[in-house]
Amino acid sequence: MKALTTMLAERAMSKMEQPADGLKEWRDAAQAQITEPVVDATLFSRPSSYASGVVASHSGPFVGILLRKSQKIRAGGLPQHFLVAVTEHEVVVLERKMTATGGPMGKPGGELVRWQRSEVGVTWTTSGYLLKVTVVAAGEVYKCQVVKHPLNESFLRLLSDPENMRAAA
């Protein structure tokens, strides 16, 4: 049985208007920070768990600190929100600062890491309304998540195939 939050999120997402240009807004945001032509880009987050967040909120600040630290370690040190952009030969990870004044796109941050596309391996599984993603690059493992949506699944296929040059649509 699905959790109530998952059912509500899926219902809301099914009613949302589908973007005509795929992930163009994220692609444009990444292109403003990268000199090479960007094939596509999307926003990722560190792994999280509603249940562990509830437990941490009832267990005091120390448990919350430990939870956030473990999420950061599993994400390979990446920030809470980050933009993954794919160019012809590279995958570039850019920091995003999501603030109340930054709007839905957040504020751009610096470049965090850059990998060769041929050296990046990606797997993902469905978890409610999220896709739990594991990226293996340069001998490191990065666990993250993205909203379950056909555009994001298309982006993950692009990310996992170095020969693929089609933007999500």
Per residue of the chain (169 residues), give pLDDT as tens.
666 666 666 666 566 555 546 688 888 989 999 999 999 999 998 877 555 555 556 666 766 666 566 666 666 678 888 899 999 999 999 998 877 776 677 778 888 889 999 999 999 999 888 899 999 988 888 888 898 989 999 999 999 888 888 887 6
What mean pLDDT value characterizes the chain? 79
pTM equals 0.75
> pLDDT at position 46, please?
81
pLDDT digits (tens, 9 = 90+) for 39-71: 999 999 887 755 555 555 666 676 666 656 666
**Exposed/middle/buried for residue 89 (C-beta within 10 Å: 0-12, 13-18, 19+):** exposed
Q: How far apart are alpha carbons 10 and 6 in whole angstroms?
A: 6
Q: How far apart are alpha carbons 156 and 145 in whole angstroms?
A: 11
In sequence order, the β-bridge partners of residue 83 are 43, 94
As assigned by CATH, the class of the 23-160 domain is: mainly beta
> pLDDT at position 73, please?
65
Which residues 6+ apart lie within 8 Å of 99 measured at CB?
106, 107
- Token code pair at residue 38: 């960007």
Which residues 6+ apart lie within 8 Å of 81 measured at CB?
43, 44, 45, 46, 95, 96, 97, 98, 106
Q: Is 115 helix (H, G, I), strand (E, B) or coil?
A: strand
In the DSSP assignment, the letter for residue 35 is S
Characterize 99-130 residue by residue with b for buried, 16 or more Cβ atoms within 10 angstroms of its Cβ, and e for exposed: eeeeeeebebeeebbebebeebebebeeeebb
Which residues 6+ apart lie within 8 Å of 153 measured at CB?
124, 131
The structural domains of the chain, with segments of one domain joined by +, span: 23-160
